[in-house]
Amino acid sequence: MSKLKRLLFGSEDGEYKQVIAVRADLKMGKGKLAAQVAHAAVEAADKSRHKSQWKDEGQRKVVVKVSGEKELLRVLAEARDYGLPTSLIEDAGHTQLEPGTKTAVGVGPAPEDDVDKITGKLKLM
């Protein structure tokens, strides 16, 4: 990335990412889990002012786990308080889960350091 781009956009190459936090306590099937992650990723990306830079860098995504709804909502609240783009996914309840079950939160795309302040201590899914 050129010096001018870094000044304009505030990032080096590879410094944007998105993290999707998923509830591990729900024991979703692989297909259901993949769908919930995809919903969270797309919805949060659509809200990001860094979307084009993130796409140019390869759309880095990391999926992490949270223990339950309380931790999921904590991640959401902290990310929102920090001003990061977020999404909260609530299942429609057509297959494995009850309607309205909160399954995943998307954070970013945003500068990696900002996202890591909220999600950096969470374990990979």
Domain ranges (residues) in the chain: 3-119
Task: Assess whether pLDDT exceeds 50 at residue 124.
Answer: yes
Task: Assess whether pLDDT exceeds 90 at residue 13.
Answer: no
Q: How would you class 116 by CB atoms within 10 Å of its CB: exposed for 0-12, middle for 13-18, buried for 19 or more?
A: middle
pLDDT category of residue 114 using cuts at 50, 70 and 90: very high
Q: Which CATH class is domain 3-119?
A: alpha beta
Instruction: Please report the pLDDT score of residue 14 as a whole number.
Output: 56
For the chain, percent of residues with pLDDT exceeding 70: 89
Model pTM above 0.95: no
Instruction: Please report the pLDDT score of residue 16 as a whole number.
Output: 97
Tell me phi and psi for residue 99, to 5 degrees: -55, 135
